Structure 1
Amino acid sequence: MLNITTFLDANMRRLSKNVFHCPERGTYYNSEEILSIASGLAEKLKEKGIEKGDRVLIYLNNSPEYLFSYFAIWRIGAVAVPTNRVYTKFELDYMIQNAGVRLVITDEDGVDSFDEENSSFSILVPAGIEEMRNHPILLPTETDPEDLCQIQYTSGTTGKPKGAMLTHGNWLAAISNEVDVMEFVESDVYLGIYPMGHVGLSWGIAALRSGALYIMMERFELENYLHLIETHKVTALSGMPPVIHSFVNCPEGTEERVKTVREIISGGGPLHNEIWKTFHHRYNIPVVNAYGLSETIVIGTGTVIRPVDYATADKFQSVGHPVCFSEVKIVDENDPNRELEQGEIGEIALRGPAVAKGYYGMPEETKQVFLADGWFLTGDIGYLDADLRLCLTDRKKDMIVMSGWKIYPTEVEDALLECENVEDVAVFSYPHPHRGEVPIAAIKYKSNVSQIIAISVFAKSRLAKYKVPVDFLEVEEIPRINGWKTSRKILNEKYSEYIEDFEKEYLKTKSPSSQNQSFKTSTNDMERTNGQNVNRSSKF
């Protein structure tokens, strides 16, 4: 038998200290109280008719109720379907139908997002959890390592969201690897900011497993984040590229506020080497740069740079070696049976104990990426460096193919971030009548002084001609999914009217040979789209 919640039983017998804290409410919980509350919620699930194998959707904000709902669902052998509170009713309806959800856990504000009367599912509002601290502890339902405990929906940036089928065994691997990587001990204090509907929650559960104190932020706000680090003497931080970027731009003296931190996690998107390097030299805090996916519960199967790697990881561009029992290889994007040589760029494939069983209800999509020999095709592009560390290049779908040339947006972004006045950047593609696709850069500058001409010259000095963006958009913010993953799709849609103007300008040129000639630029006129100020320049 393996029920993932039984680590709480083990901790309850040996620890009496608080291991979970919600600062917004001022509440603390020890392992026994967590298990008691989870048992109380589990009883309510059973009263609603939920049994082993039934699907239960969670629709809550980051909160103690969210965490305890996971444990309650897993405790009785049911299957959690976590969602993000920003999901629309259309997205929720799709997941409910696709997963065959029998019950929804939400709060009073979330009830209106569901039509219980005309549906095949019921609703539970988990009120009064503080009264359950002394609830009798429910014995765990017997489950096997291969039994499902979660259907984790991907972001669905292409086509419909896919529900990765995660098991109790997958979660055991993820928690074990994350405790190992972070070297969590009982004296640690971990500050978690990841949405609880995301597999990044696993870092927090790993902290609980080790007996460390897991502090949960309901929502990320930089000043409060720094305040919590100071107040609670946080030793391990959850982060992401935008957070680390924010640290780089923090005022002098911030170093003192985070002096207790011994490591910070980065994941959810590429960490540009210039930002990583600047952060490291200023704060001297090792970045645990991790690579994994929803389908692998982050680094349940994946790779990571650990603090011990820093003696030789001076290029600040790798996501490291595979974690325990995991394997990585690079394969031909068009022929996954052909493994590429060291240094060759191709699709990243992973194999290991936390790879999902496939996509729920999607046999064809499952066959395409979950191969018969256990390898999972990630859809990410990268290569293995001289030390056999994995280096990310981009998402397969984000790669730009211009006149046969392959352009990786992250590489271009890394180069542009070296420009002194560039604060943030995202490179995305746009269809082109002659070249198929072209790269376009959206840039947020550190000052209000227009830098469009300067950035164009700088890009030419750092990049091969074909990699230089053909158009530059000056923007106020780079759009990100859940505050961390750059959304190139949103950029493409948001600024399509400006890009279309650019395309018309191109069509006025007489031949492809004139493509490197500059034409009309506008560095003073500010235009607005969807409430966003844009200073636009075109060049070819």
Structure 2
Amino acid sequence: MHDHGLGSWMAKRRLKSPDKTALICDEQQLTYRQLADAADRVSELLWRRGIRKGDAVAYLGENSPQLLQVLFGAVQLGAVFVPVNTRLAPPEIRHVLTDSGARVLIHDPEFVDRADIGDVAECIVHTIPTGEGDTAVPGLARLIRMTDAGHIDAEVSLEDPAAIVYTSGTTGRAKGAVLTHQNLTWVALNCLVDYDVTSGDVALMISPLFHVASLGMGALPVILKGATLVLERGFEPGRALAQIQRHGVTMLSGVPTTYQLMADHPDWAATDLSTLKKLTCGGSAVPTRILNAFEERGLSFSQGYGMTETSPGATSLSPDMTRVKQGSVGLPHFFTDVRIADEHGAVVPRGTVGEIEIAGPNVFPGYHGLPEATASAFTADGWFRSGDLGYLDADGYLYISDRLKDMIISGGENIYPAEVENAICDIDGVSAVAVIGIPDDRWGEVPVAVITTRGDTRVDTETIRTLLDGRLARYKLPKRVEIVDELPRTASGKVRKADLRARFAR
């Protein structure tokens, strides 16, 4: 076998566990043999359309078996898979397609207008809708059936690009992070070690696979181990609870909001959750109220930290340490290293806040077509500069202070918004919060909390300041509280703090 990357996985799974259920999506079930055969046909289909090693194959669609068939079919050729976020606006989609140089776009039919395919780029040679399509424009499912099976064993090394995943673009245009076969293999191995993934697991995927967390730390470890994936096209809390009970789900990953919505759902108390063993949560720290709700059902979380550039896992906090190290994002993954450096690049003692730097085989080699951005993202000795501030405690556990660019300097004091946000999140009635710095004639900057509330809850500046007084230094208390219906977010769910600063800087 010449393929040493992800493209070899399907052939090996077909050999080792051909009749094991690989995927469940709605009423459709695929064994590993069926998934591998479909990936082979996609590979042949792309080959016939002129796709070769290094060519980009874009996919714009929701979670489905076809997404994974295209992923594995593309990488078998040494082609580069480009998952496109379905929540992006048309100009953002055009940027992803043109920047990646995608030669093929495979898309769910409902996104054809969003992609504005007719105008998108000269690089797109073929567009293929998912599903059946019709005689005039056959869809991917029909084309797969019409294509002969046959495994194409291309020359692929672990150092070759496997995917280009675009960052959420909180500042400027989204950058394409090139993830190699090595990156995605090692992040999957980290998950196998640190999350104890077994071949008997049934993992419910409620987050979209175009996000690197769902793909790199959700789907790929499960497939590598030969476990079962239950794919959901979108998240609906009642349906997620029903799927857990119906399929005996053992693994679930999400963000604090998804877990809160499940715990708040009317079916929460009546749903049988006895099969659930492993819950992972990323994006931000799990608020105390969510920990309480799940612990009352005998469930604890693994939490973690990472980013697109680390494929994405960097650290994990085991469930048994959730309370002991509450607020921490855990220890570095087994095959990953983390250190803290000051503004001059010198490594600082434990307990000192500085920039988080990450190294390991899961760290990407650079941004697509952006050598200067790539060079600035790494230290002279090859560590990735995260742009996040944090510290390691005496036991080596990582705590996130904030994004370097979001730090507020008020009267010469550093304020890390994440610390204030975590405190406000524990206040009854607060559903979400973002703390921003706005200009102030006296202090330079002052913190302002922008929050959303649940139900008829009413909070104001004095209420928040009173509840936080004594928990936080007074200079950290928000000088103003603004109530909004919804926080503006990027397609990947990150709060657009720049939008909030522009709105509330007065």
1:123 equivalent in structure 2: 126
Question: What is the one-letter code of the residue matched to 2:126?
Answer: I
Contact 2:63 2:234 in 1 (8 A): yes
Number of aligned residues: 488
1:60 maps onto 2:61 in alignment = yes
- 1:131-530 map, 5 Å: 132=144, 135-200=148-213, 201-202=215-216, 203-250=218-265, 254=269, 256-267=271-282, 269-275=283-289, 277-299=291-313, 302-307=314-319, 309=321, 313-332=323-342, 334-336=343-345, 338-452=346-460, 453-482=462-491, 484-493=493-502, 496=503, 499=504, 503=506
Paired residue for 1:510?
Answer: none
Q: How far apart are residue 364 of structure 1 and its match?
A: 1.1
The residue number in structure 1 matching 2:12 is 10
1:433 CA drift (Å): 3.8
SS in 1 for 2:6: coil
**What is the Cα deviation at residue 395 of structure 1?**
1.6
The one-letter code of the counterpart of 1:327 is D
Which one-letter code corresponds to 1:307 in the other structure? P
| SS of match in other structure, 2:151 | coil
SS at match of 1:115: helix
Contact preservation (8 Å) 1:442, 1:475: yes
2:136 matched residue in structure 1: none
Shift in alpha-carbon separation, 1:58–1:446, aligned structure 2, 3 A: closer
Distance 1:137 1:175, change over 3 A: farther
Cα 1:116–1:424 shift into 2, 3 Å: closer
Which aligned runs of 4 or more in structure 1 are off by greater than 4 angstroms? Answer: 250-253
Please give the secondary structure, in 1, of the residue aligned with 2:194. Answer: helix
**Does the 8 Å contact 2:88/2:491 carry over to 1?**
no
Q: Which moved more, 1:112-121 or 1:353-362?
A: 112-121
1:251 is displaced (CA, Å) by 5.1
Describe the SS at the equivalent of 2:367: coil
Moved more, 160-169 or 447-456: 447-456
Same amino acid, percent of matched pairs = 32
Q: Distance in 2 between matches of 1:10 and 1:42?
A: 16
How much has 1:190 moved relative to structure 2? 0.3
Q: Does the Cα contact within 8 Å between 1:57 and 1:83 map onto a contact in 2?
A: yes
1:80 aligns with 2:81: yes
Distance change (3 Å), C-alpha of 1:65 and 1:433: farther
How far apart are 1:273 and its partner, in Å? 4.5
Counterpart code for 2:295? H
Q: 1:188 to 1:450 in 2, by over 3 A?
A: same
Within 5 Å, give how 1:82-101 maps onto structure 2: 82-101=83-102
Report the alpha carbon displacement of residue 253 of structure 1 after superposing the two structures with TM.
Answer: 5.2
Question: In the TM superposition, what is the alpha-carbon distance from 1:123 to its structure 2 partner?
Answer: 2.6
Contact 1:241 1:484 in 2 (8 A): no
Residue in 2 aligned with 1:536?
Answer: none
Distance 1:32 1:131, change over 3 A: farther
Q: SS of 1:462's equivalent?
A: coil
Matches within 5 A, 1:37-48: 37-48=38-49
Tell me which structure has the larger Cα radius of gyration. 1
Tell me how large the CA RMSD over aligned residues is: 2.3
Secondary structure at 2:199's aligned position in 1? coil
Query: Is the alpha carbon distance of 1:170 and 1:118 closer, same or farther for their aligned partners in structure 2, counting shifts above 3 Å?
Result: closer
State how far apart, in whole Å, the 2-side matches of 1:100 and 1:252 are: 46
Q: CA deviation at 1:89?
A: 2.4
Which secondary structure does the structure 2 equivalent of 1:328 belong to? strand
Per-residue deviation, residues 499-518 of structure 1 (Å, max 9, x unmatched) = 35xx3xxxxxxxxxxxxxxx
Partners of 2:474 and 2:356 lie apart in 1 by 27
TM-score when scaled to structure 2?
Answer: 0.90
Please state whether the residue corresponding to 1:109 is helix, strand or coil.
Answer: helix
Q: Matched residues in 1 for 2:383 and 2:235: separation?
A: 35
1:420/1:98 CA distance change after superposition, 3 Å: closer
8 Å contact from structure 1 (residues 55, 78) kept in 2: yes
Query: Contact 1:272–1:410 at 8 Å: present in 2 too?
Result: no
Letter in 2 for 1:7: W
Alignment partner, residue 22 of structure 1: 25
